[in-house]
Structure 1
Amino acid sequence: MNENPIQPSLAQRSLSKVPEITLIFWIIKIAATTLGETGGDALSMSMNLGYLVSTAIFAVVFLIAVSAQVSARRFNPVLYWVTIVATTTVGTTLADFADRSLGIGYAGGTSILLLLLMLSLAIWYRTMGTVSVDSVKSPKAEMFYWVTIMFSQTLGTALGDWTADTAGLGYLGGMMVFGALLATLVAAYYWTRMSRTMLFWAAFILTRPLGAVVGDFLDKPLQAGGLAMSRFGASAALMTLMVACILLVPQRAAARNH
């Protein structure tokens, strides 16, 4: 009996609810992480709700979004990116609450969150045998995926703030540092045989502090080195960019390539 060799790939793709990793994925991801910074600051600072209340609000949104994403039967790009934005906003206010309100500091917050991220990846790998995005095809794998992303988004805020403030590089300096690191990962992807899974997670993690410093650069006061844009205006512009990319550039679910 002859079988169509294309069918397994299509069947595998239909089970995945995370997008294929393409250039548009990274463009939307950077916009989403920047939106997380401006959106989180808009609620906690501009609306004066504080870090704790803002974290509680965004945490509820995050839990609802993740529940919907895990319960969905197929890949939905709008739902996926809403969930990503939910992780970036709650990550922003949670990191700010830990760093500033609890007095842990940027270095302390970065260290703790890096440890939690590494533990999440280690437990995921030990349980599932892989941390590849291509393997996120079951509720258990999805939960590991979103917990890991949550830690990476929160870490990114603390790391971005530490680089710009404590390390004294400023927002432009932070953008140059993280931009250079991401460029190094791109070079490694094209010109080395380094693990694609490792390169993906390294890039995914680094886009968050890049978004954090870009977001701060957009909305912080001129005297602090920012552009003093309205947090609501910057958030609206970033959201518009994301929506345009999602609607105009088709995305499909990830599929195993091996």
Structure 2
Amino acid sequence: MNAERAEILSKVPALTLGFWVIKILATTLGETGGDALSMTYDFGYLASSAIFVVPLILLVIAQIRAQRFHPFLYWATIIASTTAGTTMADFATRSIGIGYPGGSLLLFGAVLACLLAWHRTLGTVDVNSVASPPAEGFYWLTITFSQTLGTALGDWVADSGPGYLGGAVIFGAALTVIAALYFRSRVSHVALFWSAFILTRPLGATVGDFLDKPIAKGGLDFSRPLASLVLAAAIVALVVLLPQRPGEHPASKA
């Protein structure tokens, strides 16, 4: 690969099966990790959000300043966004009191607004084009809102009747449909990516809640800190063992 082509490589991972496996584990970790700080250690939703937002901002800055794709930096930023998203969503839906439907609709609007502003500014929301500071800024803002949306949406569905395990089945089924459309239809792959990316978050949220919520509430009552450590170790192992390469910028295909 020559230097000119290397300059336009995306700074986010290629969309492989390994990417989606790690993403789901990261969103599950975000749920157990966020709940561990806010509930198990009783920091509360607002203080926990403030604590998680600081490393998120620092990691996003580091990601934008990096000259190339760094797997551990990328996944650390994803985990920071999903833990912050967990506590921010819980603060909005429970402490402020707008409820799961209100929080989900508000955050869904925020995600759509980010995508619209991104598209109008740069002409595309294709993640493979994330190779410049403006694109990265829109990318991480959209991701943070989507991670926050996922928590509210997962809680809304689970508390509406299906429970945590039932909610996980529903979101898993929806992702299966998206995967089928990706491989067997002409539906925009960019639209399908963002649909899948958003839906992996409530899947992780419901799985995380199923693991750590009390048995009386439909969970398995696992230790949140222990579950978080196990999930973190699994993510580190997969990042090391699975091939990690940047996505190919559309301009490099010309």
Tell me which stretches of 4 or more aligned residues in structure 1 moved more than 6 Å. Answer: none
Contact 2:56/2:80, CA 8 A, preserved across alignment: yes
Aligned residue number for residue 190 of structure 1: 183
Partner Cα separation in structure 2 for residue 231 and residue 215 of structure 1: 9
Consecutive unaligned residues in structure 2, runs of 5 or more? none
Q: How does 1:39-78 map to 2 (within 5 A)?
A: 39-78=33-72
Partner Cα separation in structure 2 for residue 130 and residue 241 of structure 1: 33
How many pairs were matched up? 251
Aligned residue number for residue 235 of structure 2: 242
Aligned residue number for residue 231 of structure 1: 224
Partner Cα separation in structure 2 for residue 71 and residue 120 of structure 1: 21
Contact 1:40/1:90, CA 8 A, preserved across alignment: yes
Q: Deviations over 1:56-115 (max 9, x none)?
A: 000001101101111111110000000000000000000000000000100000010000
Contact 1:87/1:150, CA 8 A, preserved across alignment: yes
Aligned residue number for residue 3 of structure 1: none
- C-alpha change, 1:250 and 1:179, in structure 2 (3 Å) is same
Contact 1:66/1:146, CA 8 A, preserved across alignment: yes
Q: How does 1:1-258 map to 2 (within 5 A)?
A: 7=2, 10-11=5-6, 15-165=9-159, 167-256=160-249, 258=253
Consecutive unaligned residues in structure 1, runs of 5 or more? 1-5
Contact 1:12/1:255, CA 8 A, preserved across alignment: no
Give the deviation of 1:256 after TM superposition.
3.1
Partner Cα separation in structure 2 for residue 44 and residue 88 of structure 1: 14
Q: What SS does the aligned partner of 1:18 have?
A: coil
Q: Percent identity of the aligned residues?
A: 59
Give the deviation of 1:250 after TM superposition.
2.1
TM-score (norm 1): 0.95
Q: Deviations over 1:148-206 (max 9, x none)?
A: 000000000000000001x2110111011100000000100111011110110000000
Give the deviation of 1:8 after TM superposition.
8.3
Contact 1:54/1:93, CA 8 A, preserved across alignment: yes
Give the deviation of 1:145 after TM superposition.
0.2
Contact 2:10/2:249, CA 8 A, preserved across alignment: no
